[in-house]
Amino acid sequence: MLPAQRLAVLSFHTSPLAQLGGRESGGMNVYVREVSAHLARSGLAVDVFTRRSDALQPDVLPMAPGVRLVHIDAGPPERLEKEELHPLAGTFARGVADFAAAEGVAYDLVHSHYWLAVEAGALLAREWDVPHVAMFHTLAEVKLLARSSEREPEARREAERRLVHEVDRIVAATEHEQRLLDQVYGVPRDRVEVIPLGVDRERFRPRAQLDARTALGIDPEARVLLAVGRIEPLKGLDILIESLAEMAGRDGLQLLIVGGDERAEREIARLREVAREAGVEALVRFVGPVPHERIGAYYNAADVVVVPSFYESFGLVAAEALASGVPVVASRVGGLTSTVADGRNGYLIPWRCPGPFAEKIDLLLANRPLREALGATAARSMERFEWPAVASGLLDLYASLLRDGVPGPAPQPVLAAP
Ligand code: UDP
């Protein structure tokens, strides 16, 4: 097998070092960070390219041993909306190609994340004549199927419908996503490699609840529900907030919501209004974003973690909570069905409405032995989700693409000169 030696990872619209829980930063950032570090441990030189969104960002930043983060100029060095980024994909690709030329390095393979980067990656892969692996993380049509009131720009829908057929291989987090790519986009299954995500089980493992609560200043007697993640309608927090009103025992009940940066303010205000109308305002606390290094304590402090999303391609939050030994009540959608096993480490709710969530949460809150039994199974059930295994799955995929070659047009200069 021909091992890859140098890998270009494209994370165009969001930096792997961005604060998590913001509008554009969550599971994908964790993935790029973890996977790059583990790939580099196998001897691969990894350069992660992201757009410069702040003039103070250095050109090159060491991110982990063997991993560099490279900031590329494309558009003004400030935060831009995703709609403004699509027209800049070519400029970004040109910047990456110029960086490679200036350094005198050649990449064996391009791995891009999210459709905006895949657009840039397609250009680079043709210019360099190397295989292109893509991970979409979310897809517009899939989001629209999951929640019809989602708003996605036509440019994204068009680009994804085209790009899924242009790349050499798509990495999907679950077989469910592989099936969707086939059914919704007509991508043959052998063009999709299923590699689940991992969990850092050193960071996320069972720890004494009392210690975690003491560290966070949470009442040891409280009954604590936790939701974590980017704050947007697709995450279904309305359902969870409304479910509080339907719970039998509300004494000492608290819902902590971790995540959301200043750009989530409008959505948070809307959710506060939902809570007010449901008469549960006093039970809900928006904690704000918490760095990934410190979020483990929140899981360990919780009695139940709830993931009421309309869709998750994998759902790292559920995986992290389970690894922490906490039962999860989650929507029965997407990747959540690959980690949450109904009745074994939590509950899967088939309906996107508050009553069934309230019923299962109540059941867990009222029954400590049940919670502890499910929590113990939860931690064990996550043992097979490991970042080193993800990296080794990717290395095998890269090797097979380099060995077999990829049929396609002859190499051609596709990037306009600066
Ligand atoms: N996260 C975090 N701090 C926050 C909010 C979220 O570290 O304030 C992390 C969380 O621990 C998880 C990721 O962001 O690792 C969210 O990933 P998930 O797959 O659940 O959702 P996505 O962002 O991909 O929709």
Cβ within 8 Å of residue 3, ≥6 positions away: 43, 44, 395, 398, 399, 402
CB-defined site of ligand 1, < 6 Å: 20-21, 26-28, 30, 228-230, 258-259, 289-290, 292, 295, 314-317, 320
Beta bridge partners of 45: 6
Q: Is the pLDDT of residue 418 over 60?
A: no
Name the token pair of 135.
Answer: 């991970």
State the Cα–Cα distance between residues 2 and 399, nearest whole angstrom.
Answer: 6
Say what the pTM is: 0.95
Confidence category of residue 378, pLDDT binned at 50, 70, 90 = very high
Q: How far is the CA of 106 from the centre of ligand 1 (A)?
A: 33
Q: Is the pLDDT of residue 411 over 80?
A: no
Task: Please state the atom number of ligand 1 nearest to the C-alpha of residue 137.
Answer: 24
Q: Residue 335: what pLDDT?
A: 96
pLDDT digits (tens, 9 = 90+) for 335-367: 999 999 999 999 999 999 999 999 999 999 999
pLDDT digits (tens, 9 = 90+) for 27-48: 999 999 999 999 999 999 999 9
State the Cα–Cα distance between residues 282 and 248, nearest whole angstrom.
Answer: 16
Q: How far is the CA of 310 from the centre of ligand 1 (A)?
A: 16
DSSP code of residue 332: S
For the segment 212-222, the average pLDDT, to the nearest whole number, is 97
Mutate to test the pocket of ligand 1, among 13, 262, 268, 316 (most ligand atoms within 8 A of CB): 316
Q: Which residue has the higher pLDDT, 69 or 250?
A: 69
Confidence category of residue 262, pLDDT binned at 50, 70, 90 = confident
Q: How far is the CA of 370 from the centre of ligand 1 (A)?
A: 27
pLDDT digits (tens, 9 = 90+) for 304-318: 999 999 999 999 999
Strand runs labelled E in 277-345: 284-288, 304-307, 328-331
State the Cα–Cα distance between residues 363 and 413, nearest whole angstrom.
Answer: 62
Name the token pair of 34.
Answer: 């973890």
Q: Is the pLDDT of residue 62 over 90?
A: yes
State the Cα–Cα distance between residues 130 and 402, nearest whole angstrom.
Answer: 8
Mutate to test the pocket of ligand 1, among 14, 19, 20 (most ligand atoms within 8 A of CB): 20
The DSSP line for 166-223 is: HSSEEEESSHHHHHHHHHHH---GGGEEE------TTTS----HHHHHHHHT--TTSE
Q: How far is the CA of 414 from the centre of ligand 1 (A)?
A: 36
Q: Is the pLDDT of residue 412 over 80?
A: no
Q: Is 344 helix (H, G, I), strand (E, B) or coil?
A: coil
Task: Please state the atom number of ligand 1 nearest to the C-alpha of residue 26.
Answer: 23
Mutate to test the pocket of ligand 1, among 35, 147, 230, 322 (most ligand atoms within 8 A of CB): 230
Mutate to test the pocket of ligand 1, among 113, 226, 317 (most ligand atoms within 8 A of CB): 317
State the Cα–Cα distance between residues 337 and 314, nearest whole angstrom.
Answer: 9
